[in-house]
A and B are shown apart, each in its own frame.
Chain A
Amino acid sequence: MNCLWCFESIIQKHTWSTIFTLSAMKGLCPVCRESLMILHTNRCTRCSRESVSEVCSDCLVWEQQGQFLDWNVSVFKYEGAVRDMLYKWKYRGDYELGYAFEREYSKGFAKVRKRAGKNAVIVPVPLSEERLSERGFNQAEMLAGFLKVKKSVVLKRRHSEKQSKKSRSERLASENPFQMQESIQTPVILVDDIYTTGSTLHQAAAVLKQNGAPFVAGYTLIRS
């Protein structure tokens, strides 16, 4: 087994589970795992951003504009190795590299599920058809695959320019690209790779709430 990031070989520990299942989890070597920065200090309770106050200034603005996303939890800080890995995984299209995040992402889900309630379903944020065929896979769907909970694909996305190419104000002003394919009556946990300004998640949450979802939270990999 080799590290997904530095390709150094990893010496596997033998435990009962690895012996019985015969398949070990793909992942990182201890050195690379150390280099991922996990968020755990003081955070905004609504968007997981590092902040001293309980609710950060961004979230207060969202509150004024009409808030649809109830809260978001992220796992990693957008810094150092995480930044490089996200780039290679998402934009270079290195699908396997996503497994590097599996351990921490599925570990962090327990708390999120507790907070959102047992009957919540997972909705991965979709890509537009064009973007999906360009990229070959949807990173949010891969993340959703790590979580052993019921998934539901109810959202559709129109093609628009990449969020990462837009400025903050452009993102906030953009038209809602999401549509619902059917209505939903259960609480929802939206899954995506990165929370930057939060506009993608808020737009998706708005559509979900207009179509019956009583409660929408976000569980994202990275908070930048």
Chain B
Amino acid sequence: MKDYEMVIGSPDAKALTILARSFAGKRLLRSEIPLPESLFQKLVDDHLFVPFPSIKKHLFSHQCQRCYNRKRSYFGEMPCARCKERHVYCRSCIAMGRIGLCEPLYEWAGPEPEWPLREGLLTWQGRLTDLQLEAAEKAVLAVNTEQTELLLWAVCGAGKTEMLYPCVASALENGKRVCLASPRADVIRELLPRFKEAFAAADIEALYGGSPDKQAKSQLILATTHQLLRFHKAFDVLIIDEVDAFPYHGDPLLPLAAIRARKDFCTVLYLTATPRPEHKKRIQRKNLPHHFIPCRFHGHPLPVPKNILCASLKKHIHKSLLPPRLFIWIEQRCHDRQLLLFVPTIQLAEQMKTVLAPILLEKNLIGSFSEFAVVHSKDPDREEKVQAFRCKDIQFLICTTILERGVTFPSVDVVVLDAGHEVFDEAALVQIAGRAGRSPNDPDGHVLFFHDGRTEAMNGAIQLIKAMNKRAGFLP
């Protein structure tokens, strides 16, 4: 509220820029606009805020105008104490504040926000490799010529974030508004400090469920793809990281939100290591410009996964145990690297926590109980555990697919238990294999798929990794 105190009185030009920066390009509930009622009313009377219905009625259904949800099961009905009537509300996006039929959404209709033209914003000191530089130039060109779309297809560990710095810098310097969206909140949390360091002078906000920043009035915004639901014609440059990841892939509403969040003339950059078929098809038809970066930034090939058949796998999993072959392998491998074990379900991960720890201790595979941990999406301490694994306090980590992407551990061996399970699709397996060998000091690592029958996904993943290595010039 404090920021707006100076605006009260008469909205002069300076005040209008402040308001425009805060509210332009969004669809907001009254409760999300922290202005005193008198000022807000004045702005509505002056047609600077325009109300419009928050839920559209169709013949047999409703549609939320914030999240585009149309499913009947995601609409509730409540007796509203404000309007004294029973009406529908949207349950799909309720975590962002309840949208009810009786309350309009407001859009800023005043002047567009203007950002200053600046120079030398990029304070990042590192250097890009030739391959990264080539990709970065493509991205800069795309942004400067307002090309609609560009897909950067870079192998895991190619250094995608660094490649973005030049084009983000050039967009910010030209007064454009930029958003980097990722389907995963973990990724956004990790990116914020890196971007703050790379762009010391720019104001950056990170938006995710439970983030400290909520206002979204900065020029550069890092956000989860869900947060894009708040925006409407807001960005000149929209970068979607890990475009093949859940929930962006699989939720039809989020791509719609991304389309809505961009301005009429906007550049969308997609980043991915494993494009989904729909993007691959568009690339083949040549209606999606793309650039391929086949090699990791340290110049070493991707570790190729090994399949290990283990016929009695299901029996052991049923008892929450590891197959004997895996135990033997764990005993024989060199112990400098940490071990990351992917399991298909949260339930299995939880069961293994109790069963496995004493056995591992007995076999002397871990030094103490504290060197062993389990993480999954429902784990409240997942951030701390991942951090502890990164600091090497934890040596043996069991995880579900939440750690498949976006996280970097310098030196790990990776094992996938029951790689034939349906949660491990081709993209997931390629990403999981990409966790190994990410550091220039240890550019190699073992990747093992334990299975009781090969699947298309496993074959596809291994073929894809080999093909990418070949394209990068490594002989098989």
Q: Interface residues, chain A, CB within 8 Å of chain B?
A: 1-2, 7, 9, 88, 92-97, 132-133, 135-138
Give B74-98 as 1s and 0s: 1 = Cβ < 8 Å from A's Cβ atoms. Answer: 1011111110000001010011001
Q: 12 more A-B contacts (CB under 8 A) besides A132-B81, A136-B81? A: A2-B73, A93-B98, A94-B98, A95-B77, A95-B79, A95-B89, A96-B76, A96-B77, A97-B76, A133-B81, A137-B80, A137-B81
Contact assessment for A94 and B94 in the assembled complex, using a CB-CB cutoff below 8 Å: yes
B100 close to chain A: CB less than 8 A: yes
> What distance in Å separates the Cβ of B80 from its nearest Cβ neighbour in chain A?
5
Q: Note all chain A residues with C-beta closer than 8 A to B81.
A: 132-133, 135-138
Contact assessment for A136 and B91 in the assembled complex, using a CB-CB cutoff below 8 Å: no
Contact assessment for B76 and A94 in the assembled complex, using a CB-CB cutoff below 8 Å: yes
Q: Note all chain A residues with C-beta closer than 8 A to B78.
A: 95-96, 136-137
CA distance A96 to B78 in the complex (A): 7
Most buried by B among A2, A7, A93, A136: A136
Q: Note all chain B residues with C-beta closer than 8 A to A135.
A: 81
> What distance in Å separates the Cβ of A25 from its nearest Cβ neighbour in chain B?
15
Q: Note all chain A residues with C-beta closer than 8 A to B100.
A: 136
Q: Note all chain B residues with C-beta closer than 8 A to A132.
A: 81
Pairs A–B under 8 Å by Cβ, sample size 14: A1-B73, A92-B94, A94-B94, A95-B76, A95-B77, A95-B78, A95-B79, A96-B76, A97-B76, A132-B81, A135-B81, A136-B80, A136-B81, A138-B81
Q: Note all chain A residues with C-beta closer than 8 A to B91.
A: 94, 96
List B42-83 residues whose CB lies under 8 Å from chain A. 73-74, 76-82
CA distance A132 to B380 in the complex (A): 32
Contact assessment for A137 and B79 in the assembled complex, using a CB-CB cutoff below 8 Å: yes
CA distance A95 to B101 in the complex (A): 14
Contact assessment for A7 and B74 in the assembled complex, using a CB-CB cutoff below 8 Å: yes
Q: Note all chain A residues with C-beta closer than 8 A to B73.
A: 1-2, 7, 9
Q: Note all chain A residues with C-beta closer than 8 A to B80.
A: 136-137
CA distance A94 to B80 in the complex (A): 12
Instruction: Enumerate the 10 nearest inter-chain pairs by beta-carbon distance, A residue then B residue, closest first.
Output: A96-B76, A95-B78, A2-B73, A93-B98, A132-B81, A92-B94, A94-B94, A133-B82, A136-B80, A136-B81
